Structure formats: C-alpha cells, structure tokens
Structure 1
Amino acid sequence: MQFLLTAINAKFIHSNPAIYSLRAYAGEKLQPYIDLAEYTINNKMDEILNDLYKRHPNAIGFSCYIWNWTLIQELIVELPKLLPETDIWLGGPEVSFEASGILREYPMVKGIMVGEGEETFRDVMAYYVGNGRPEIGSKYHSFGDIPGLVMKERENRKRNLADLNELPFFYDRLLAHASMNMECQSFDNRILYYETSRGCPFKCAYCLSSIDRQMRYRDVKTVKRELKFFLSQKIPQVKLIDRTFNCRRERAMEIWRYLAENDNGVTNFHFEVAGELIGEEELALFKTMRPGLIQLEIGVQTTNWDTLKAVCRNTDIAHIGRAVGIIRDYGNIHIHLDLIAGLPFEGYESFKKSFNDVYVMRPYQLQLGFLKVLKGTVIREKAKEYGIVYHDKPPYEVLYTKWISYDQIRKLKQIEEMLELYYNSSQFMYTLPALQQAFASPFDLFEKLAEYYDEKGYFTSSPARSYRYQVLLEFAICYTGLRKDLLKELLTFDYYLRENAKSRPAFCGDLSRHWDEMCIFYQKEERSPRYLGNYSGYRARQMMKMTHMEAFYYDVWDSGRGTELRRHHSPRFVLFDYEKRNPVTGQAQSQVVELPKSI
C-alpha cells in the first residue's frame, strides 16, 4: 500500500505544510506507506500526470485550493484512464464546503476529507494498512464510519477540532536528513511555513478564517523550542500562517521577545497581524530588533466605514496609520499593507480614497487585491444582495458590483500592475516621491501611468525590467514638468541602488570626465581605506568592479523629504557598496564621498 499526498503550489518558492502535517501525524507505523509529491501550477497537466503515473500509487490525495483546483479537476478526470485501480481522495478548503456536489460531479473520486485533516487522514491510512496488520489495526470497519469524510453514499459525522499541541513538528524530520531524502532538498530557496495557532477571533465576511472562530494555540514553550530549530538551521525565511498572530497580545509579545533575544542575524519571520492591536509595548520592542528580523503584514482592506461595517470589520484606521508610521520610521521592519477592491459600498472614487489613505502610511509593499468570493463565506451568501458578480471558476474573483463597474475593475487591474512594477518592486524609491509632487494624489499618479502604458501598448508587450526606467523617464517628461536632468539623476540613483549593472543605461550621465579622479580614489582606498575597509586585500581595479561610483548635480537622496532639489554647480560623488545591503529594502549602501586630486 502506498498513499501519495500531492500538493500543487502557486509558486516554486512556496511549500505545502498541510501534506507534511498529515504524514507526520499519521505516526511512525504508517509513515512508510505515505509518499509526498509537490508541483506548481506552472507545470503542465501532462507533466504532472506523467509523474503520478510513474509513481503508480494505490491512492492519491490532492490538497485543493483556489489556485490549483482547475488543474486538479483536469487531473482527476484523466488519472482513472491510466491508473484505474488507484483511489482518488480530495481535501482542503476548496472542496470542504460543497463536498457532496463535487462527488456527484466527479464520481471517480472515492471521498473527500473535510476540514482539518490530520486525524481523518490517519484513520484513513490505518484502515488501508491495518487489514491483516493487528499492530496497526483500524478502529473503523469502513470508510463510511470515519469522521470527517464525505463519501458518495453518505456524509459521515463531523470531526472534532484537533488539539494543536498533539500535532508533531515535522520540519526537523524533513530537514535533518536532506542529504538522504530527495524531497527535503527541495526546501532550498523556498519559504517554510509554520503555525502557532488556528482559528481567528474576527468574522470578516470575505474570509474563510471567519468560519473557525474557536481559537486554539500551540503551547508557547513548544513554539519556542520549534522556533529555536529554525534559528539553529539558519533558515532564510519562516512565514507564520496564524491568521491573526497578535490576537492574544501577551502571547505574541513573549514570542517576539524570544526571537529578539535569540536572533541569529539571518532568519526572517513573517507575521500577519491586526494593526489596531499594536500598542506602545509592541512598538518599543520592535524598535530594538535587528533590521530584517521580522516583517509584518496588515490587512487594512478599505478605509470606507460603510464597507468596513458591511464586511464585519471593526478597524481603527487612525491607530493603524500611527503604528505603521512609527514602525516605518524605525526603518528595521518590512511593512506590507493590503487593500481589497470590489467590496460592498466601495465605488471607484471611494477606493481611490482608501488607496491614498493607505499609501501615505508608506508601507514597503502595498498589495492591491481583488475580492475573491470564496465558498463558505458570508460574502458569497450575500453576493446577490450586494450585486456582486464574479467568475464561476476559481479564484472566484469579482467582475463588478452595484458600486463599481467592470470597466473600473479593469482600470484598477492596470493600476495594480503599475503598483507592482514601480512601487512594490522597491526599484524607484527616490523617483516616485518626486513624481508624486506633480499629481493631486498618489492614486492619480498610478492612474495616469496606467493610462500611459495602455496608450503605448505596454500592457500587451511589457518592457524588460531595465527598460522600465526609460519608460518612466518618458512618462515623467510628458506629465510632471520636472527638469529632464533631475529625472535622469533620480532614475540613475534608483538604478544603481538595486544593482551594479554591467551595461550603463542611456539615461545615465557621462562619467568619462571624472574617470581619472575616480581611479585615484580607488587607488587610495587600496593603500589606505577610508570608505571601503570591508574590501581589504582587493586591488583598486577589483574594487571598481565590485562597487560603483556616480556623479550627481542634485541631492537626489533627499527626494521625498519635502525639500526642493536644486542643481549644484559641481557634482557630488556617491559610492554604492553592494556588499552592504539594507536587509529591509535590499538597496546597496550609498554614501557621498570626497575624491582626492592626487594619490
């Protein structure tokens, strides 16, 4: 007997903790009969089908979500043609709320594991393996008796929620034997997911987490021990999937203190938090943390009070704004804020206000998302009442509502793309503030930029990353009234903050007249370092290749500080050091340097 737990992730860097947890909870006696397989939605269906066929399992279980359900539907239709003796099982949020209907539509599926699956899957495996194995044995006489299953013939009784303290920690097993286990090697360059709680105390109408409001917590001592494992392994990033990590503030503070006290200087921990619960004590602790130790994601979603009421959110926008502003000024924590377009009572102009309200909080990333009308949510039940029309297929994204038209949604989609390319990329952190001064609001800037892209046909033929700087220059010349030489210097500064480019963009100034001075600078740094002490042992020519120097007539590094950028008569020289990067923004260290006239 071999059961293949199968995950199809949205991206390669993602992993699927659900299938790891199912196998770990099954226990040592059953684990030899359980294999794991992970793919991405970028794999072709036939590629996955071929790999599943080669494995020839007795049973396959698919972990189903909105991002992979369409692909899984194709697979479960084709698999029985190649593996007619293989049982097909489904589980996950995408199939838990309409399980009986899915079984009618796909009669080749043996059954669906509804809700949390650890105990249910263990019992399924015990039934498969236990026949004739008294040391394993199943306490159930058929699949129809196992709680948490929906079968074609009947819907079994519901399964009680699991005690989180009984769930084993699975990463030690997965990572400790990476040299012997091929599936463990796949964790290289991938995000690890970890949970310390399940449930959510809030009841947001659009969110699946609102269905499970019974909070369950993993013991803090256990959490600390498991976090210590991540720290000892120097995992680059651990993303906590607790729906609202700080809903119990003292517990959150204890864990954050532990991370601060045991920081390894490498690992980054990502938390989803409620911004209105961040108080003075949290702010004081955050201030002391190493840059890059943690990052925070806060779902603001909207600043429209009627909308907040309709979706059952009691949000203190002013409090969030103050907390985010203070953390942003610390400069040591990556702040990610979310907005949702297409919510009830939010039209285009209202969303514009929400966008501007959140943008001025200065998050490092502002995600403009679109309402997903998910199965099992209140918003799906009230979709007709609110005039919400959405795609029939996952991810069930909004098309239009009573308050916002499809044309306006299309426009917001284009604005979202501009936001991703020019704001969330962190590649234009000094150019954008200067451009914003020419527009009535940040939203107006991105709206006009989207119109420019549309007019030029760039949405269908997207410019390469390096050429986006040139596109922004052309746009700014047309619509901002800023001096061309200033715009070029702003873009040059942004460009070299990100990378030590081998080829020099056309918009950058001519450095040939300063070449001799720059050579003397590096020769002096080789003999008696003042700025590049971390390059000890390197020759001047090597340092020139590993760093970059640029001449600026404007103090472009002051962009966004409210001061007018005036042109100097002579240039100031900036040194970009790529060995020293800001762990929050990823930007190279930059500093104004003095060039010697002679060695």
Structure 2
Amino acid sequence: MKFNKTLFVGLNASFSHTALALYSLVRMPLETEAVVREFTINENRDSVFRAIIEENADLVAFSCYIWNIDIVLTLARRIKAARPQTAILLGGPEVSYDAGQWIKRHAEIDLILSGEGEESLPLLFTGPEENVPGLWYREEGNVKVSDKPLDPVNLSSLPPVYRNFSFQDHKMYYYEASRGCPYRCSFCLSSNEPVRTVPMQQVKEELHALLKAKVMIVKFVDRTMNADPARFHEILRFISEEDNGITRFHMEIHPTALRDASIQQIQGLRKGLVQFEIGVQSTHEPTCQAIRRVGDTTRIGEVVARLRTAGNVHLHLDLIAGLPYEDMRAFASSFEHVMDMQPHMLQLGFLKLLRGSDLRKQAEQYGIRFPDDAPYEVVATKWMSPEDLFFLKDVESLVDHLYNTSCVQKTLLYFRYRTGSWWELFSALARFARENGYLQTSRKQTERYDLCLAFGRRIGSDETILQDLIRYDMLMQTWKWPASVPIRFDNWTAERFLSKEVQQVLAEIGRTDPKNGLRKTQGQHFQYDIHAYFGDGTPCKREHRLLFLYKEETSVHRIGKGMEWNI
C-alpha cells in the first residue's frame, strides 16, 4: 500500500511517559515519511485532534492500550469525519487479541495490525495487505485478514531505539532488554510469549546512551529482569560502572529467583541507582495456585528483608484485589504479610481482565464479573461483593496518600501498634475517613495531617505523643511550617540557633558558614523520643531537642547530650 506520510500517535497516561512501541517501529525500514507525535490522555481532545489533522498524514497509526482506547476511537471518528481519505491503523495489546471484533464494530478503523509489529509493519508499505502477517483490513466492504503466519519477533534483528535519539528533560524512558516471561501468571499477557533477549552488546550501547543523556528514570519493561541471573548480573554491573549519579533504573524482579550473589551485588550499588518492583499479588495459597503464581511467601519475606536492610534500594511491592478464592479475610492476610515486609511502596491494584489473558477466559468459571469496556476492572467475584471492593478502594487511597508518600511514617507506625495490625489500622482509617469526609477532599498534604490528628484522637492516643509524632513527620517533609495544621510548634529565636550546642552540631556536619549554616533549618523540643519505643509501640518519655537540616535529604540531629545520634 502507498502512504506518503504516516503519523504515529502515542496517547500516554502521563506527561512523563514515553511511547517506546512507536519509537521501536519507526526505527524499522519503512517506505513512508514516519512522524511520531506524543500526547497524554489528559490533554484537551480538540487540541490533540487539531494537531493530528495539521500533520496532513495519509495514514494515522495509533498505539492502543486499556488506558487510551476510548480516546483513540473518539479521535479516529473525528479524523474520518474531517478527512475521509485518511486511513486509520490501530495496533497494540488492546486490539491484538480481538482484532476482528474491533474492525467489524468500528467503521472508522481501516486497518488493525495484531501482535508484534516490527517485522510485519514494513510490509504494509511495500506490498498487498494479504502479505502482511497479522493484518486485518477492508476490501470492497468486506473485512479480511492475512493468512501469513505471525511469528515471534527476533529481537536480535531490531535496530537500537536509543541510537542518535533526542532525549527530553523530565521524561521517563522505557527500555526493553527482553520480551516474554518464563512464568505463566494467568492474569498477564506476557505469560503467553516465549522469552527472547536483545543482544547484550546492544543493551549496553543503549543504556550507555541513556546514562550519557542523564535521564532521570529508565524503566525496564521486562517482565522478570532476573529470569536469567547471568544477564541480570551483567546489566547491574554495567549500570554501576557507568553510573552518572543521577539516573535511576526501575526493574521488575521475581524474589524467589534472586540468588545470594545477586543480593550481595545489589547491596553494593549506589543508593537510588535501582528500584525494584516485586509482584507478590497474593499470599493465599489457593489463589496463587489458581493464577499460576509461583512463589514462597517465606522466601519472598527473607529476600525483601535483606534488600530492605541494605538501605540502598527502593522496594515497590504489588498486591491485586479480586483474584480467585481470595475473600476479605484472605486478602487481609495477604495485606498484613506484605506490609510486615516494610516496602517503601505498596501498590494495591485491582484485577483487570485483559483481552488475551487466560484469566479472562476463566472469568465465568471463577464468577469474576467485569464490564466489557476498558480497563475491564473486576466489580465482583464469588468471594468479594461490590461493597468489599469499594471498601478496598478506600484502603488503597489511604495507603497511597499516607503510607506511600512517607509523610506520616512515625505516626502510622504508632497507630499500627495501637490498632494491633496494619490491616486493622487501614480498615479503621478507611471507615473513619469515609464517615468524616476525608476521602472527598483535595488531599493536600496538610489534610493528611489533619486526618491523622483526628483519627489518633478517635482511637484514644495520648495527645502529647500524637502531637510529637505528627510534628516530627511534618518536619521530615518540609522546613516551612504549615500554619493551618493545629499542632504545637516551637518558634526558635536566632539566639537559640546560634547557641554553642547548635553551632557544635553544624560544625560537625560541615556547615561552618554562619550566614548559610542555618538556611532551611528547624529546631524543635520534643517530650517523647520518636526513635525509642517500648514493646507496646509507645515512644519513650525523654525530653530532648532536635535540629532538622534540609538539603537533598532531610537529616535530624540531637542537640546537646547524645549529639552523636542522628538519622
């Protein structure tokens, strides 16, 4: 087919994201003028539509996912109305598995390229449609599909995405060192793909380009980075040796496959160089068996503990609500198991029955109910009612805004002891927040402290302890005291800051300039020691003064006796 100009459109979930799939495709030898335009799903649709039309392309190709398919279809209809001669091509995971249904239901779609497109897309511009593997098309009013076999792409044959690439500031760049997964989790699309890898030399070349550009975050899209321990070791070694002190790498790993040698290697990395995402999903054995999730909860806990103790790696653990055989009691147990591992972030997600996934095909068997529009999120199961899932939505919101932000770390730990468990804490918080309207607010940081203050009083916390905890947590986040929060705050005079004891602390940490030494500094008097607890979780009664110093990270120093203590 002849298309002089092709516009590849990416509709990303966020401004910081990038459309890796499109950049992979335009690196192929395409006999068309290929242009990539990226937008976000939050942008004004009229503006996006106008930008597409002004490109005056013969073919507009959209990359389709569960988060953007509705907008894609809206734009496709507008394009067809404005420029009937412009062809519309859809590709991506959202349209690959039911391509025939999509093209039959939507007259605005001319072409759908299912599956991996790097090897089949170039054929679209050189020959008849029937020779393009995975292509659905229209011919004389009829929908047809190519009978050419659609084989897995050989990643060794693909040109580098990030060679001579124009990087932008404040963007997260995705990178794919392998495709497919050795595990067979029934909710995941990658479980049906064979594992293939990009040659290591090419991986190093592209990682070098990303590091040279000093991009902030590189997110590997590989489903299990440590599936091949030797490759994992070599990639970690390379990014450590080439470390620019700025770039952070996000990787998804399987903890039970993480070897001792890898853990030791990780423990030696620069703090912040890597962050790991670990998909626990559930610790309920019948659930894990049903979704074919391989893992030993005890082993996962041991690995996470070793990585957590090292203190140099951010740990992001995942749970999924709405899985087979997991009722509220079983989910509470999974929640408690994972929270006891002390992740830096817990992502509480809700099951999405993705097109092409095995679990979607088994949904009726398991009594999983979900709508037939993206993102196909579970609304009820045999084991969870809609009300149960609504409640978990409230829990998820509070975990995200209180725990994951680290804005009330010490306060939450105290509440956890007061309520008996992490699940009891967040259950009680969810009920209290819903009853008192906190879940309907704008979630300003000050409102989080208001919520904790009110909740702490509801559960009978000691007022002085509560005030000390929240005041400490607030000062760990900001040196500017928010006047709207009703917490006691010591206004230190300049004379107190210039006292001999304070100046001794500043001298020990290298702040010797009298003018700049106290810039962004706070001093406070506490009646309870926030870092010393009795067995019941109550802080020790011990009056002391703390100096909070703000630079890249907040540091806290004890003034006077015991000055050697700091965090």
Shorter-chain TM range is: over 0.9
Answer yes or no: is 1:372 the counterpart of 2:338.
no
Answer yes or no: is 1:7 the counterpart of 2:42.
no
1:451-509 residue CA offsets vs partner (Å, 9 max, x unmatched): 11111122223442222112111111111x32111111111111111122254454443
CA distance in 2, matches of 1:42, 1:482: 42
Q: Report SS of the residue matched to 1:389.
A: coil
- Matching of residues 564-579 of structure 1 within 5 Å: 564-568=538-542, 571-579=543-551
Q: 2:113 maps to which residue?
A: 113
Q: 2:446 maps to which residue?
A: 466
Identity of aligned residues (%): 32
1:317-341 residue CA offsets vs partner (Å, 9 max, x unmatched): 1111100011111111000110000
Q: Which amino acid aligns with 1:516?
A: E
CA distance in 1, matches of 2:503, 2:275: 40
CA distance in 1, matches of 2:54, 2:533: 58
CA RMSD of aligned residues (A): 2.1
Q: 2:496 maps to which residue?
A: 517
Q: Which amino acid aligns with 1:354?
A: S
Q: Which amino acid aligns with 1:591?
A: H
* Deviation of the 1:510 alpha carbon: 3.7
**CA contact under 8 A between 1:434 and 1:560: conserved in structure 2?**
no
- Matching of residues 317-396 of structure 1 within 5 Å: 317-396=297-376
Which of 202, 208, 225 does residue 189 from structure 2 map onto? Answer: 208
Q: Report SS of the residue matched to 1:557.
A: strand
CA distance in 2, matches of 1:576, 1:539: 16
1:48-105 residue CA offsets vs partner (Å, 9 max, x unmatched): 1122122221110000000001111211122111111111000000000111111111
Q: Which amino acid aligns with 2:171?
A: R
* Deviation of the 1:109 alpha carbon: 1.3
**CA contact under 8 A between 1:433 and 1:560: conserved in structure 2?**
no
* Structure 1 residues 80 and 357, CA gap change in structure 2 (3 angstroms): same
1:385-435 residue CA offsets vs partner (Å, 9 max, x unmatched): 111101221000000001111110000001000100111111111111111
**CA contact under 8 A between 1:575 and 1:590: conserved in structure 2?**
yes
* Deviation of the 1:262 alpha carbon: 2.8
Stretch deviating more after TM superposition (252-261 or 92-101): 252-261
**CA contact under 8 A between 1:489 and 1:552: conserved in structure 2?**
yes
Answer yes or no: is 1:485 the counterpart of 2:451.
no
Which of 391, 406, 412 does residue 426 from structure 1 map onto? Answer: 406
* Deviation of the 1:539 alpha carbon: 4.3
Q: Report SS of the residue matched to 1:592.
A: strand
Q: 1:180 maps to which residue?
A: none
Q: 2:29 maps to which residue?
A: 26
Q: Report SS of the residue matched to 1:357.
A: helix
CA distance in 2, matches of 1:122, 1:276: 41
CA distance in 2, matches of 1:539, 1:174: 46
CA distance in 1, matches of 2:514, 2:80: 65
CA distance in 1, matches of 2:503, 2:305: 42
**CA contact under 8 A between 1:522 and 1:543: conserved in structure 2?**
no
Q: Report SS of the residue matched to 2:109.
A: coil
Answer yes or no: is 1:225 the counterpart of 2:195.
no
Answer yes or no: is 1:173 the counterpart of 2:147.
no
Q: Which amino acid aligns with 1:589?
A: S
**CA contact under 8 A between 1:234 and 1:266: conserved in structure 2?**
yes
* Deviation of the 1:116 alpha carbon: 0.8
CA distance in 2, matches of 1:204, 1:467: 39
- Matching of residues 194-273 of structure 1 within 5 Å: 194-212=175-193, 214-273=194-253
Q: 2:132 maps to which residue?
A: 146
CA distance in 2, matches of 1:514, 1:67: 53
**CA contact under 8 A between 2:418 and 2:537: conserved in structure 1?**
no
Q: 1:179 maps to which residue?
A: none
* Structure 1 residues 98 and 114, CA gap change in structure 2 (3 angstroms): same
Q: 1:164 maps to which residue?
A: 155
* Deviation of the 1:367 alpha carbon: 0.7
**CA contact under 8 A between 2:62 and 2:89: conserved in structure 1?**
yes
Q: 2:145 maps to which residue?
A: 155
Q: Which amino acid aligns with 2:81?
A: K
CA distance in 1, matches of 2:119, 2:178: 17
* Deviation of the 1:111 alpha carbon: 0.7
Show structure 2 runs of 5+ residues with no match: 562-567
* Deviation of the 1:316 alpha carbon: 1.2
CA distance in 1, matches of 2:116, 2:205: 24
* Deviation of the 1:564 alpha carbon: 4.1
**CA contact under 8 A between 2:489 and 2:524: conserved in structure 1?**
no
**CA contact under 8 A between 1:341 and 1:351: conserved in structure 2?**
yes
Answer yes or no: is 1:417 the counterpart of 2:407.
no
* Structure 1 residues 246 and 561, CA gap change in structure 2 (3 angstroms): farther
Q: 1:546 maps to which residue?
A: 520
**CA contact under 8 A between 1:473 and 1:487: conserved in structure 2?**
yes
Q: 1:287 maps to which residue?
A: 267
CA distance in 2, matches of 1:41, 1:456: 32
CA distance in 1, matches of 2:448, 2:100: 49
CA distance in 2, matches of 1:452, 1:37: 45
* Structure 1 residues 563 and 304, CA gap change in structure 2 (3 angstroms): closer
Q: 1:501 maps to which residue?
A: 480
* Structure 1 residues 371 and 100, CA gap change in structure 2 (3 angstroms): same
Q: 1:585 maps to which residue?
A: none
Q: Which amino acid aligns with 2:145?
A: E
Q: 1:435 maps to which residue?
A: 415
Q: Which amino acid aligns with 1:549?
A: G
CA distance in 2, matches of 1:99, 1:492: 56
Stretch deviating more after TM superposition (469-478 or 164-173): 164-173
Q: 2:69 maps to which residue?
A: 69
Q: 1:592 maps to which residue?
A: 558
- TM normalised by structure 2 equals 0.93
Show structure 1 runs of 5+ residues with no match: 128-137, 176-183, 582-587
- TM normalised by structure 1 equals 0.88
- Matching of residues 400-411 of structure 1 within 5 Å: 400-411=380-391
**CA contact under 8 A between 2:395 and 2:430: conserved in structure 1?**
yes
**CA contact under 8 A between 1:476 and 1:482: conserved in structure 2?**
yes
Stretch deviating more after TM superposition (260-269 or 340-349): 260-269
* Structure 1 residues 232 and 463, CA gap change in structure 2 (3 angstroms): closer
**CA contact under 8 A between 2:91 and 2:114: conserved in structure 1?**
yes
CA distance in 1, matches of 2:71, 2:500: 58
* Deviation of the 1:562 alpha carbon: 7.1
Q: Report SS of the residue matched to 2:60.
A: strand
* Deviation of the 1:560 alpha carbon: 9.6
CA distance in 2, matches of 1:76, 1:515: 64
